[in-house]
Amino acid sequence: MEEFKYSYKYPHPSVTTDCVIFGFDGKDLKVLLIERGIEPFKGTWAFPGGFLRMEESAEEGAKRELFEETGLRSSYIKQFHAFTNPQRDPRERVITIAYYALVKIEEVQGGDDAAKAQWFSLDNIPSLAFDHDRILRFAMRELRKQIHFEPIGFELLPEEFTMKELQQLYEAILEVHFDRRNFSKKMLHIGLLEQVEGVKTPYKYKFNPTTYEEMKQKGFKLEF
Amino acid sequence: MEEFKYSYKYPHPSVTTDCVIFGFDGKDLKVLLIERGIEPFKGTWAFPGGFLRMEESAEEGAKRELFEETGLRSSYIKQFHAFTNPQRDPRERVITIAYYALVKIEEVQGGDDAAKAQWFSLDNIPSLAFDHDRILRFAMRELRKQIHFEPIGFELLPEEFTMKELQQLYEAILEVHFDRRNFSKKMLHIGLLEQVEGVKTPYKYKFNPTTYEEMKQKGFKLEF
DNA sequence: TCAAAAGTGTTCGCTATACACCCATGG
DNA sequence: CCATGGGTGTATAGCGAACACTTTTGA
């Protein structure tokens, strides 16, 4: 009995965080998956995640998971849903608070056990553990919504990027096709882009966070 | 020790659901608050909520809370955030999964203890228990976002309503002012409204859920 | 009969969209 | 020199925003 030393009057569920990590390789949108080393679902792929510690918030937990798998500390991270189906874990009642993270794929370092982490294109996702396929679909839907209110695309691109890369990213997220000329015109018109001096054809651009902060104050909407 | 019969190897947080119930009285957007009868925060106002039962999902829990306070079973309800700050409850670690519900205010029946439930206008909210002021601000922000993707306004209005009521609702949610003529034109153009036959000046309208379902299939966006 | 509310139409400017041409680069 | 990619401009149509007049209703 020594082992079960946390006792409550009423049953409590376990609480975990899961982190859907999105990256962009210049062409396709990708997610980072971990091959599970333990039961249940040993050997199948899943999102990085784990039990919430008592002294950390869910966001801190998700950031911890993100760091352990990518070495990144300061990425964009957003809670998008808590999954609470009583049967979602075969062992016991586990609810998970799910986040998605947007990372610059080239900054990602292999985690402690890099061998078991791998990037997958969204059109080539393997069978996933637990209800993680549902979590992924949910994350994609929320990401598409989010893009209307925040220029989150910039979180997925390197510091400097071409207009074509930016367009391909938006096309990958929204699953649409834009006219190259109109996309460029629209993006430049918004005013969040800053052309990198001295680079010629193809031009490179940087995201201007100052302008973004100003625009957030006044309120704005990105149309697509 | 009989009392604490649920034991775990690791500490588990408590999990609750809270339900921000929005209603519209034809003029102002309101929320339903409960006066707490027990400590902590006894005597202060809070959202309906309570501990998640082991056999129910969070959404079922939130619906249960909604039913207990309003008598309504089939309202629009949406999870918008899990609040997980380790210090948010002074007693112990409690995370809450928060929902907002949109109800037709005239259908609401007093709950079991109706005396302690009361509608408050958003510009006249009393001091709230726990972190519920933060939860309310969060709910409002999500509601405003949501309105761009779904015609949720209709959930808050009676079956039949005038264009003016619809406009006042949108103005209350978004905290903006629309030109009466342009608002009407735009709303009618979207095609979700059906004019009630036989009613004259002011016309009444009904929401057409069939058209809405068709539009959701094809994907659409409500602009404001 | 008078005031307030509600119905309706027009103009203007902006932006989304469709589309074509020129230039630079590299094989 | 030719093909490809990338930079740029223009015409058109549709929508949002501003705005005024007429009709109806009820006090």
The domain spanning residue B101 has which CATH number?
Answer: 3.90.79.10
Q: What is the share, in percent, of chain B residues with pLDDT greater than 90?
A: 78
Q: Using 50, 70 and 90 to split pLDDT, how confident is the model at B200?
A: confident
The number of folded domains in chain A is 2
Q: Domain ends where: A146, A180, A201? A: A146
Nearest to A149 among B4, B14, B145 (CB): B145
Q: Domain ends where: B93, B123, B146? A: B146
Question: Per the domain annotation, does B35 fall within a domain?
Answer: yes
A87 touches strand C (CB under 7 A): no
Q: Domain ends where: A146, A167, A194? A: A146
User: What are the tens digits of pLDDT across the range B154-171?
Assistant: 999 999 999 999 999 999
User: What are the tens digits of pLDDT across the range B17-76?
Assistant: 999 999 999 989 999 999 999 989 999 999 999 999 999 999 999 999 999 999 999 899
- Residues of chain A numbered 28-67 and touching chain B (CB < 8 Å): 51-52, 54-59
Q: Using 50, 70 and 90 to split pLDDT, how confident is the model at B198?
A: confident
Chain A residues 161-190, Cβ below 7 A from strand C: 179, 181-182, 185-186, 189
Question: Per the domain annotation, does A184 fall within a domain?
Answer: yes
- Answer yes or no: is pLDDT of A26 > 70: yes
Q: Where are the beta strands (DSSP E) in chain B?
A: 6-8, 14-24, 29-35, 45-46, 49-51, 76-83, 94-102, 117-121, 160-161, 193-195, 205-207
CB pairs under 8 A between A and B: 97
Region for B114 from its dihedrals, namely left if φ exceeds 0, alpha if ψ lies in -120 to 50, beta otherwise: alpha
B27 touches strand C (CB under 7 A): no
Q: Does B8 touch chain A (CB under 8 A)?
A: yes
Q: Do A82 and B82 touch (CB under 8 A)?
A: yes
Confirm if B196 and B205 have CB atoms less than 8 A apart. yes
Residues A20, A86 within the same domain: yes
Question: Per the domain annotation, does A2 fall within a domain?
Answer: no
- Type of residue at A206: K
Question: Per the domain annotation, does B8 fall within a domain?
Answer: no
Question: Per the domain annotation, does A95 fall within a domain?
Answer: yes
- Answer yes or no: is pLDDT of B1 > 80: no
Q: By residue range, what is the domain housing residue A40?
A: 14-146
Residues B21, B132 within the same domain: yes
User: What are the tens digits of pLDDT across the range B93-141?
Assistant: 999 999 999 999 999 987 666 568 999 999 999 999 999 999 999 999 9
